[in-house]
């Protein structure tokens, strides 16, 4: 009998036909992936040579430490591989006016996370490998943004949330120097440049090179030439990236709550550390 496949948690609406399934008995209602994923199956991985996000934590089986900076933290199971169901088509008998539901043939978990398609390089929109790429890219932007916010406020006294307003007071300018472009022209330049960069990035199908392109342009000093040093730098980068993302979120919350920049808020806190805290700002104990 003809078979078809759908995913219990997948981004594809029609599902994917998958061979080599494991047999299963009983009749199960198939889900098309619009609900939450199943809770991740966890196994103990208390090894002395692998640090976890807290002492004695139990890492999910899919977080095996192979990714740089993997500390077994995924309480909501967002990185759990999608589980696919394969089942028979419903059997329609028009003479008897019956539509018998197809039986479940088996289940399968797709192991490969990357496929060679430039416009859709990952099998799953919410796959673990794509999460890592998004985490690293957002972390790099956050490191630049955090440094930029602190530097601008320290050098000019202008907070990061007001920097754009200052640059546009008398037309477009940069570092106090006028630019020969209108705002609409600058937007088009940004769209074209970033669009070209994104197309070039998606043209790379090697997962390692997508994250760490290296070469004379991205590693001119050859810091990652030694494999051991490269692993150390990758771990340091992901740690700093995570810290920077938390800092950038803190800057945004501070700006919304106080209207001040991070350095101004820090100075205010140091002037009266017992009465100028996050609890006083939000009136939690007032």
Residue 173 has a CB neighbour count (10 Å cut-off) of 13
Taking the C-alpha atoms of residue 15 and residue 108, their distance in angstroms, rounded to an integer, is 12
Please tell me whether 138 is known to bind a ligand: yes
Cα–Cα distances in angstroms (integers) from residue 248 to residues 82, 126, 191, 240, in the given order: 31, 24, 24, 12
Query: Is the CB of residue 1 less than 8 Å from the CB of residue 89?
Result: yes
Please tell me whether 210 is known to bind a ligand: no
Please tell me whether 269 is known to bind a ligand: yes
Taking the C-alpha atoms of residue 286 and residue 279, their distance in angstroms, rounded to an integer, is 9
Please tell me whether 237 is known to bind a ligand: yes
Strand order in the sheet with 3-7: 3-7, 83-88, 104-109, 22-23
Taking the C-alpha atoms of residue 111 and residue 114, their distance in angstroms, rounded to an integer, is 9
| H or E stretch at 5 | strand 3-7
- Binding site, residues? 135, 138, 140, 237, 242, 254, 269
- Binding site for chlorophyll a, residues? 135, 138, 140, 237, 242, 254, 269
């Amino acid at each position: 009998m003809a078979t078809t496949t759908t995913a219990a948690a997948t981004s594809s609406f029609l599902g994917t036909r998958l061979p080599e399934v494991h047999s299963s008995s009983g009749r199960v209602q198939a889900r098309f992936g619009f609900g939450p994923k199943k809770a991740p199956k966890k196994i103990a991985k208390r090894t002395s040579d692998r640090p976890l996000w807290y002492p004695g934590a139990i890492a999910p089986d899919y977080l095996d430490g192979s990714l740089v900076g993997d500390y077994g933290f995924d309480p909501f199971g967002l990185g759990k591989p999608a589980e696919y169901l394969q089942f028979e088509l419903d059997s329609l008998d028009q003479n008897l006016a019956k539509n018998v539901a197809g039986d479940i043939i088996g289940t399968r978990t797709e192991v490969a996370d990357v496929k060679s398609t430039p416009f859709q390089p990952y099998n799953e929109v919410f796959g673990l490998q794509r999460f890592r790429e998004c985490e690293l890219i957002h972390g790099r932007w956050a490191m630049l943004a955090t440094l930029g916010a602190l530097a601008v406020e320290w050098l000019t006294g202008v907070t990061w949330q007001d920097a754009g307003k200052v640059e546009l007071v008398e037309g477009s300018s940069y570092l106090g120097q006028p630019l020969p472009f209108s705002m609409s022209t600058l937007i088009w330049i940004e769209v074209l440049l970033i669009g070209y960069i994104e197309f070039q990035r998606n043209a790379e199908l090697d997962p390692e090179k997508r994250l760490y392109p290296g070469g004379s342009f991205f590693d001119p000093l050859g810091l990652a030439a030694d494999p051991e040093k490269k692993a150390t730098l990758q771990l340091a980068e992901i740690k700093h990236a995570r810290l920077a993302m938390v800092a950038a979120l803190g800057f945004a919350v501070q700006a919304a709550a106080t209207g001040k920049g991070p350095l101004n808020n820090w100075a205010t806190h140091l002037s009266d550390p017992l009465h100028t805290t996050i609890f006083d700002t939000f009136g939690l104990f007032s």
